[in-house]
Amino acid sequence: MLLPIESLLSAEEVQQCRQLLFASEWQDGAATAGGLARTVKNNFQLDDNSDNARRLQDFVLHRLRQHPTFVSATLPEHIYPPKFNLYQNGGHYGQHVDSAVMTLASGQVLRTDVSATLFLCDPDDYDGGELQIETRYGMQSVKLPAGSLILYPSHSLHQVTPVTRGQRLCSFFWIQSLVRDSHNRELLFDLDQSIQSLTITHGNGHEDVVRLSQIYHNLLRQWSMS
Protein backbone atom coordinates (compact mmCIF):
# COMPACT_ATOMS: atom_id res chain seq x y z
CA MET A 1 0.00 0.00 0.00
CA LEU A 2 1.23 3.45 -0.94
CA LEU A 3 -0.29 5.96 1.45
CA PRO A 4 0.35 9.72 1.26
CA ILE A 5 -0.20 11.69 4.47
CA GLU A 6 -0.67 15.37 3.71
CA SER A 7 0.59 18.18 5.95
CA LEU A 8 2.30 16.09 8.59
CA LEU A 9 4.28 19.29 9.18
CA SER A 10 2.98 22.83 8.79
CA ALA A 11 4.69 25.34 6.51
CA GLU A 12 6.24 26.99 9.57
CA GLU A 13 7.53 23.66 10.87
CA VAL A 14 9.01 22.83 7.46
CA GLN A 15 10.81 26.16 7.43
CA GLN A 16 12.24 25.53 10.89
CA CYS A 17 13.54 22.13 9.73
CA ARG A 18 15.07 23.65 6.62
CA GLN A 19 16.89 26.31 8.63
CA LEU A 20 18.52 23.61 10.75
CA LEU A 21 19.38 21.53 7.68
CA PHE A 22 20.98 24.44 5.82
CA ALA A 23 23.04 25.22 8.94
CA SER A 24 24.37 21.65 9.05
CA GLU A 25 27.33 19.86 7.51
CA TRP A 26 26.55 17.09 5.03
CA GLN A 27 28.45 13.90 4.34
CA ASP A 28 28.65 11.58 1.34
CA GLY A 29 25.48 9.49 1.36
CA ALA A 30 27.21 6.50 -0.23
CA ALA A 31 29.23 6.03 2.95
CA THR A 32 26.04 5.12 4.82
CA ALA A 33 24.70 2.61 2.28
CA GLY A 34 25.21 -1.10 2.56
CA GLY A 35 25.82 -3.84 0.01
CA LEU A 36 24.72 -3.20 -3.56
CA ALA A 37 22.95 0.05 -2.62
CA ARG A 38 26.32 1.75 -2.17
CA THR A 39 27.05 1.47 -5.89
CA VAL A 40 23.85 3.29 -6.92
CA LYS A 41 23.65 5.99 -4.23
CA ASN A 42 24.73 9.54 -5.09
CA ASN A 43 23.52 12.08 -2.55
CA PHE A 44 24.39 13.80 0.72
CA GLN A 45 23.25 12.80 4.17
CA LEU A 46 23.20 14.47 7.56
CA ASP A 47 25.44 12.96 10.24
CA ASP A 48 23.02 11.10 12.52
CA ASN A 49 25.12 12.01 15.56
CA SER A 50 25.18 15.77 14.97
CA ASP A 51 23.26 18.06 17.30
CA ASN A 52 21.00 19.31 14.51
CA ALA A 53 20.20 15.77 13.39
CA ARG A 54 19.20 14.76 16.90
CA ARG A 55 16.98 17.83 17.30
CA LEU A 56 15.28 17.10 13.99
CA GLN A 57 14.88 13.41 14.81
CA ASP A 58 13.14 14.19 18.09
CA PHE A 59 10.86 16.73 16.43
CA VAL A 60 9.79 14.43 13.57
CA LEU A 61 9.25 11.47 15.91
CA HIS A 62 7.07 13.62 18.15
CA ARG A 63 4.89 14.70 15.22
CA LEU A 64 4.61 11.12 13.92
CA ARG A 65 3.41 9.73 17.24
CA GLN A 66 0.73 12.43 17.40
CA HIS A 67 -0.65 11.78 13.91
CA PRO A 68 -3.64 9.39 13.96
CA THR A 69 -3.40 8.34 10.30
CA PHE A 70 0.28 7.46 10.61
CA VAL A 71 -0.38 5.42 13.77
CA SER A 72 -3.41 3.69 12.23
CA ALA A 73 -1.59 2.80 9.00
CA THR A 74 1.69 1.58 10.48
CA LEU A 75 0.78 0.40 14.01
CA PRO A 76 4.34 1.25 15.02
CA GLU A 77 6.22 -0.93 17.45
CA HIS A 78 9.58 0.70 16.73
CA ILE A 79 10.55 3.65 14.51
CA TYR A 80 14.09 3.99 13.23
CA PRO A 81 15.32 7.50 14.09
CA PRO A 82 14.69 9.68 11.02
CA LYS A 83 17.57 10.40 8.67
CA PHE A 84 17.90 13.41 6.36
CA ASN A 85 19.25 13.61 2.82
CA LEU A 86 19.98 16.13 0.11
CA TYR A 87 19.99 15.62 -3.67
CA GLN A 88 21.38 18.19 -6.11
CA ASN A 89 23.47 18.50 -9.30
CA GLY A 90 22.32 15.19 -10.76
CA GLY A 91 22.24 13.38 -7.42
CA HIS A 92 20.17 10.22 -7.48
CA TYR A 93 19.65 6.83 -5.83
CA GLY A 94 19.32 3.95 -8.25
CA GLN A 95 16.91 1.08 -7.90
CA HIS A 96 17.33 -0.79 -4.62
CA VAL A 97 15.45 -2.46 -1.78
CA ASP A 98 15.80 -1.42 1.86
CA SER A 99 17.60 -3.78 4.22
CA ALA A 100 15.24 -6.25 5.88
CA VAL A 101 16.72 -5.64 9.34
CA MET A 102 18.59 -2.68 10.79
CA THR A 103 20.42 -2.19 14.06
CA LEU A 104 19.68 0.78 16.29
CA ALA A 105 22.41 2.58 18.22
CA SER A 106 21.24 0.70 21.31
CA GLY A 107 22.01 -2.60 19.59
CA GLN A 108 18.34 -3.44 19.20
CA VAL A 109 17.45 -5.04 15.86
CA LEU A 110 14.54 -3.53 13.93
CA ARG A 111 12.65 -5.32 11.15
CA THR A 112 11.74 -2.93 8.34
CA ASP A 113 8.06 -3.39 7.50
CA VAL A 114 7.16 0.10 6.28
CA SER A 115 9.38 2.74 4.68
CA ALA A 116 8.63 6.45 4.84
CA THR A 117 9.80 9.59 3.07
CA LEU A 118 8.93 13.04 4.41
CA PHE A 119 9.32 15.80 1.83
CA LEU A 120 10.88 19.04 3.11
CA CYS A 121 10.69 21.08 -0.10
CA ASP A 122 7.98 21.72 -2.66
CA PRO A 123 7.89 20.02 -6.09
CA ASP A 124 8.47 23.38 -7.81
CA ASP A 125 11.78 23.79 -5.95
CA TYR A 126 13.52 21.14 -8.04
CA ASP A 127 13.33 19.17 -11.28
CA GLY A 128 13.61 15.38 -11.23
CA GLY A 129 13.97 13.74 -7.85
CA GLU A 130 10.83 11.61 -8.12
CA LEU A 131 10.57 8.74 -5.67
CA GLN A 132 9.64 5.84 -7.93
CA ILE A 133 8.20 2.76 -6.20
CA GLU A 134 7.52 -0.56 -7.90
CA THR A 135 4.07 -1.88 -7.00
CA ARG A 136 1.82 -4.70 -8.20
CA TYR A 137 0.28 -2.11 -10.53
CA GLY A 138 3.60 -0.96 -11.99
CA MET A 139 6.02 1.84 -11.14
CA GLN A 140 4.47 4.75 -9.21
CA SER A 141 6.15 8.18 -9.10
CA VAL A 142 5.81 10.27 -5.95
CA LYS A 143 6.70 13.95 -5.49
CA LEU A 144 4.71 15.48 -2.64
CA PRO A 145 4.39 19.01 -1.22
CA ALA A 146 6.68 20.08 1.61
CA GLY A 147 5.53 18.66 4.93
CA SER A 148 3.79 15.63 3.38
CA LEU A 149 4.76 12.00 3.93
CA ILE A 150 4.58 8.86 1.78
CA LEU A 151 4.39 5.37 3.33
CA TYR A 152 5.22 2.27 1.28
CA PRO A 153 6.20 -1.37 1.87
CA SER A 154 9.88 -1.79 2.70
CA HIS A 155 10.13 -4.84 0.44
CA SER A 156 9.43 -2.68 -2.63
CA LEU A 157 12.07 -1.90 -5.21
CA HIS A 158 12.38 1.90 -5.41
CA GLN A 159 14.64 4.69 -6.62
CA VAL A 160 15.11 8.47 -6.65
CA THR A 161 15.57 9.90 -10.14
CA PRO A 162 18.36 12.45 -10.81
CA VAL A 163 17.76 15.99 -9.57
CA THR A 164 18.60 18.24 -12.51
CA ARG A 165 17.67 21.61 -10.96
CA GLY A 166 17.50 22.88 -7.40
CA GLN A 167 17.72 20.82 -4.24
CA ARG A 168 15.60 17.96 -2.90
CA LEU A 169 15.51 17.78 0.91
CA CYS A 170 13.80 14.86 2.64
CA SER A 171 13.69 12.85 5.80
CA PHE A 172 13.43 9.06 5.57
CA PHE A 173 13.00 6.27 8.08
CA TRP A 174 11.55 2.81 8.68
CA ILE A 175 8.90 1.31 10.92
CA GLN A 176 8.65 -2.09 12.53
CA SER A 177 4.92 -2.68 12.85
CA LEU A 178 3.08 -4.57 15.56
CA VAL A 179 1.47 -6.44 12.64
CA ARG A 180 4.12 -8.02 10.45
CA ASP A 181 1.87 -9.14 7.59
CA SER A 182 1.27 -6.22 5.20
CA HIS A 183 -2.11 -7.55 4.02
CA ASN A 184 -3.40 -7.85 7.58
CA ARG A 185 -2.07 -4.39 8.37
CA GLU A 186 -3.96 -2.91 5.41
CA LEU A 187 -7.18 -4.64 6.47
CA LEU A 188 -6.84 -3.21 9.97
CA PHE A 189 -6.21 0.25 8.56
CA ASP A 190 -9.32 0.10 6.36
CA LEU A 191 -11.38 -1.19 9.28
CA ASP A 192 -10.09 1.54 11.60
CA GLN A 193 -10.87 4.26 9.06
CA SER A 194 -14.42 2.92 8.72
CA ILE A 195 -14.85 2.90 12.49
CA GLN A 196 -13.64 6.51 12.71
CA SER A 197 -16.08 7.55 9.99
CA LEU A 198 -19.00 5.79 11.67
CA THR A 199 -18.05 7.32 15.01
CA ILE A 200 -18.30 10.81 13.54
CA THR A 201 -21.75 10.02 12.08
CA HIS A 202 -23.30 7.96 14.88
CA GLY A 203 -21.17 8.51 17.98
CA ASN A 204 -18.84 6.11 19.76
CA GLY A 205 -21.66 4.45 21.65
CA HIS A 206 -23.51 3.25 18.57
CA GLU A 207 -23.99 -0.52 18.43
CA ASP A 208 -22.21 -0.91 15.07
CA VAL A 209 -19.26 1.19 16.23
CA VAL A 210 -18.89 -0.88 19.40
CA ARG A 211 -19.14 -4.18 17.50
CA LEU A 212 -16.64 -3.16 14.83
CA SER A 213 -14.27 -1.86 17.50
CA GLN A 214 -14.42 -5.26 19.18
CA ILE A 215 -13.58 -6.97 15.88
CA TYR A 216 -10.71 -4.54 15.25
CA HIS A 217 -9.08 -5.08 18.62
CA ASN A 218 -9.53 -8.84 18.53
CA LEU A 219 -7.89 -9.01 15.10
CA LEU A 220 -5.08 -6.74 16.29
CA ARG A 221 -4.64 -8.96 19.32
CA GLN A 222 -4.38 -12.05 17.12
CA TRP A 223 -2.21 -10.59 14.34
CA SER A 224 0.20 -8.76 16.61
CA MET A 225 1.26 -11.95 18.37
CA SER A 226 4.84 -12.82 17.42
Binding site for Fe cation: residue ranges?
A: 96, 98, 158
Phi/psi at 9 (nearest 5 deg)?
-115, 145
Are the C-beta atoms of 108 and 181 separated by less than 8 Å? no
Q: CB neighbours of 117 closer than 8 A, spacing ≥ 6? A: 131, 142, 149, 150, 170, 171, 172
What is the rounded CA–CA span in Å between residue 147 and residue 17? 10
**Residue 33 has what DSSP assignment?**
-
Are the C-beta atoms of 84 and 170 separated by less than 8 Å? yes
Q: Are strands 41-42 and 3-5 parallel, antiparallel or unpaired?
A: unpaired
Of 5, 44, 3, the C-alpha closest to 24 is 44
* Residues placed in the known binding site for 2-oxoglutarate: 168
Q: CB neighbours of 94 closer than 8 A, spacing ≥ 6? A: 39, 40, 41, 159
Are the C-beta atoms of 123 and 143 separated by less than 8 Å? yes
* Residues placed in the known binding site: 96, 98, 158, 168
